[in-house]
């Protein structure tokens, strides 16, 4: 009798597991009545058929947190960024609000970043735009990357593009940098001798110990991670990944990570902007 009970339990738990695995892609991410696309056909230069948001790989509970802005802990930081938006800083005596209509005026920007900026003559990220504004227009100190105030402001500006389709240009003046990023993505580094692609292209959907490997898409960044209860920037996450494979991470804001961000962002073309997302 005892044996029978045990095997029945095993069967039930296996069935549950199979259930969650098959439900992976079909569920829709709906926030405030807006459906956010979490899968899209992959670009033809990719070796995968479909690009999937990291949201698809998380548990039902974690997914649910992102489906309601009240439950999404990342929104706390968005509120903090709104305070910063209205705070005067620097020698020019200006705040963000002095020049811009409102954060809403940045709708669509996140979907295209990183992008080549003709006026600046380089590929710009959200952090670059924030710091250009702070230094050139406000006369304030630039914010450090991957720090709370910067990440919160990136989250506020990303939120304005939520639901919009990622469309990062990989041709034109950004092509060289994109090529460099692609090379980094496929280069094995660190003591474990692994490339980004080994986990996020060859093995997404599989478990790496207790972690469910995603495709490593960055459409949801900055991401609120349950493990550290704060917003995590793209470059901060890249660093974390590199430490995991026992490599010496490139610097946050370095040319290498900028190139990698451009390439990884373009891999998500077709997905929707989710930031601030909730991940574990």
Partner 1 sequence: MADNVKPRVRVPRSAVAGEAFEIKTLISHKMESGARKDSDGNTIPRSIIHHFSCDFNGENVIQAALEGAISTNPYIQFEASIEESGTFTFTWQDDDGSEYTDSKDITVG
Are the C-beta atoms of residues 41 and 49 closer than 8 Å to each other? yes
- The residue (of 80 and 197) whose beta carbon lies closer to partner 1 is 80
75 vs 146, beta carbon nearer partner 1: 75
Q: How far is the CB of 17 from partner 1 (least distance, A)?
A: 28
Q: Is residue 241 annotated as part of the catalytic site, yes or no?
A: yes
- Closest CB 75 distance from partner 1, rounded Å: 8
Question: Which one, 80 or 180, has the nearer CB to partner 1?
Answer: 80
Q: Decide: 156 and 74 in contact? Cβ < 8 Å.
A: no
- Chain residues that interact with partner 1, rule: CB under 8 A: 70-71, 73, 76, 79-80, 229
- Structure-token pair, residue 14: 């296996």
A 10 A CB-CB count for 280 gives 16
- Please, what is the minimum distance in Å from the beta carbon of residue 151 to partner 1? 14
Half-sphere exposure of 210 (CA within 13 A, CB side): 1
- From the number of C-beta atoms within 10 Å of its C-beta (0-12, 13-18, 19+), residue 249 rates as buried
- Residue 150: name the closest of 166, 117, 128, 123 by CA: 128
The label of the residue with tokens 């999937």 reads: 52
Catalytic residue among 96, 196, 199, 241: 241
Task: Output 76 or 132, the one with its CB closest to partner 1.
Answer: 76
Q: Among all residues, which ones are annotated catalytic?
A: 241
């Amino acid at each position: 009798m005892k044996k029978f009970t045990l095997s029945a339990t095993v069967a039930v738990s296996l069935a549950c597991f199979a259930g969650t695995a098959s439900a992976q892609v079909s569920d829709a991410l709906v926030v405030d009545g807006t459906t956010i696309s979490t899968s899209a056909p992959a670009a033809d230069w990719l070796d995968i058929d479909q690009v999937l948001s990291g949201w698809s790989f998380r548990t039902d509970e974690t997914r649910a947190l992102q489906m309601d802005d009240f439950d999404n802990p990342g929104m706390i930081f968005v509120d903090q960024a709104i305070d910063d938006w209205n705070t005067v800083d620097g020698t020019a005596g200006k705040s963000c609000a002095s020049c811009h209509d409102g954060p809403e005026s940045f709708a669509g920007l996140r979907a295209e970043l990183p992008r080549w900026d003709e006026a600046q003559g380089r590929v710009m990220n959200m952090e670059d735009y924030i710091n250009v504004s702070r230094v050139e227009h406000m006369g304030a100190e630039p914010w450090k990357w991957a720090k709370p105030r910067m990440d919160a402001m990136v989250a506020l500006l990303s939120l304005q593009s939520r639901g919009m389709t990622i469309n990062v240009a990989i041709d034109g003046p950004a092509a060289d940098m994109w090529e460099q990023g692609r090379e980094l993505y496929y280069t094995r580094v660190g003591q474990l001798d692994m490339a980004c692609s080994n986990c996020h292209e060859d093995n997404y959907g599989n478990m790496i110990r207790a972690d469910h490997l995603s495709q490593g898409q960055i459409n949801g960044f900055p991401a609120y991670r349950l493990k550290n209860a704060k917003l995590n920037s793209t470059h901060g996450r890249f660093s974390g990944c590199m430490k995991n494979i026992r490599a010496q991470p490139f610097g946050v804001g370095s040319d290498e990570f900028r190139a990698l961000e451009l390439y990884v962002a373009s891999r998500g073309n077709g997905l929707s902007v989710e930031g601030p997302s909730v991940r574990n």
